């Protein structure tokens, strides 16, 4: 996480548009859930069909269990943005058409076969290829998705740090502060405005 940066709106669209081929819907869903729901990469990769498809539809909220969270005492409930819900729905349809839509199936399956989840390195490879295609500069990583989410939520909440902490599921507000330390442009603007 340290040192990686969030993505701009143009970069996000470029990443989404860069996905082609057999895993296009999987990869788009991965990015959209990272950017629009703020999941950690380990949380994303742990999701199963049963977590995101209930009673024949994508729920409004997804429960992330404690075992997949970093330093959390309890699970957290994450609201799903409409774009994330649409991406999940497309992904579930794709899995179903391949005979892989069972409740126990991983949402982000590896290409190794069977019901294996995409690993952290596999997730990074998906993003790294997109970042390279777009010639993105600066330090970008899997965590750039979550930092992008954090930046947008912080702005939408009128820079309310406590509410942003809640949205990110951080136990310690210092973790939230660390996510927002990249906002040097805000500091620069304030200094130049005085």
Report the pLDDT averaged over residues 164-190. Answer: 83
Give the rounded percent of residues in the chain with a pLDDT score beyond 70.
Answer: 93
Where are the chain's structural domains?
A: 9-144
What percent of the chain shows pLDDT beyond 90? 74
Arithmetic mean of pLDDT over the chain: 90
Give CA angle at 181 (178, 187), nearest 5°.
155
pLDDT in tens, 52-80: 999 999 999 998 876 654 555 567 889 99
Q: Find tokens 């774009």 and name the residue.
A: 83
Window from 9-23, 103-117, 137-151, 169-183 with minimum mean pLDDT: 169-183
pLDDT of residue 14: 97
pLDDT of residue 121: 94
* 3-state secondary structure at position 76: strand
Q: Within 13 Å of residue 40, how many CA atoms lie on the same side as its CB?
A: 18
**Residue 190 pLDDT level (bands cut at 50, 70, 90):** confident
Strand pairing report for 61-64 and 76-79: antiparallel
pLDDT category at 183 given cuts 50, 70, 90 is: low
Tell which wins on pLDDT, 95 or 114: 95
* Sign, Cα dihedral of 179, 157, 144, 81: positive
CATH superfamily of 9-144: Intergrase catalytic core (1.10.443.10)
């Amino acid at each position: 996480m340290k040192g990686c940066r969030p993505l701009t709106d143009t970069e996000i669209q470029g990443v989404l548009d860069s996905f082609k081929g057999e895993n296009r819907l999987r990869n788009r869903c991965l990015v959209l859930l990272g950017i629009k729901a703020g999941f950690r990469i380990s949380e994303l990769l742990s999701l199963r069909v049963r977590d995101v498809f209930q009673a024949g539809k994508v729920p409004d909220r997804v429960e992330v269990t404690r075992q997949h969270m970093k330093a959390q005492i309890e699970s957290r409930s994450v609201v799903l943005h409409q774009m994330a819900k649409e991406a999940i729905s497309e992904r579930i349809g794709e899995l179903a058409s391949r005979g892989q839509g069972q409740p126990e199936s991983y949402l982000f399956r590896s290409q190794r076969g069977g019901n294996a989840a995409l690993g952290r390195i596999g997730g990074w490879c998906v993003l790294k290829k997109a970042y390279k295609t777009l010639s993105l500069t600066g330090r970008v990583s899997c965590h750039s998705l979550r930092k992008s989410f954090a930046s947008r939520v912080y702005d939408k909440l009128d820079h309310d740090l406590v509410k942003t902490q809640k949205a990110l599921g951080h136990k310690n507000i210092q973790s939230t502060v660390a996510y927002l330390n990249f906002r040097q442009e805000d500091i620069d603007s304030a200094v130049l405005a005085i």
